[in-house]
Amino acid sequence: MDRSRSTASAEPTRPPWGRLGGVFVAGGAAGAAIALALLPQRGPQEATSTAFALGALIFGAALLGWTAAVVGGRGLETTYESVETESQFTEAGARRAMLLLCALGLGGMVGASVISAVLT
């Protein structure tokens, strides 16, 4: 128990705002790029819908993953510790990874929305 606490406390507790912003922008660019790439084949409505839905898919799944990490992350971390799997999994790490994915998905949704607003 003590060992898991020491591992968890070694992780930074604050969300990585700088990286989150960067990933959000990257997601936005990817969303916009996908929408623009699909534009000639599918038309503005369907192209932006598909790009938005892809971003939403990532965002929704990551949000569920984040909740799972908050609820069960500590238990999983302790389990890995107790069975001595040498796993690098930590609750804080899982939460941060899921937050980054949330930012990526949300960025994709915003990027596709911007293209949709420009085209319509």
* Residues contributing to the site for other proteins (CB under 8 A): 45, 48-50, 52-57, 59-64, 66-67, 70-71, 109, 112-113, 116-117, 120
Tokens 């020491």 sit at which residue?
A: 6
Quote the least distance from Cβ 112 to other proteins, whole Å.
7
Q: Are 36 and 115 in contact (CB under 8 A)?
A: yes
Our separate counts of H helices and E strands in the chain read: 3, 0
Between 22 and 44, name the residue whose CB sits nearer to other proteins.
44
Quote the least distance from Cβ 81 to other proteins, whole Å.
17
Quote the least distance from Cβ 26 to other proteins, whole Å.
19
Dist CA 43 CA 68 (whole Å): 38
User: Angle, to 10 degrees, between the axis of helix 91-119 and the axis of helix 17-82?
Assistant: 140
Between 90 and 116, name the residue whose CB sits nearer to other proteins.
116
Between 60 and 88, name the residue whose CB sits nearer to other proteins.
60
Quote the least distance from Cβ 66 to other proteins, whole Å.
7
Q: What are phi and psi of 10, to 5 degrees?
A: -70, -20
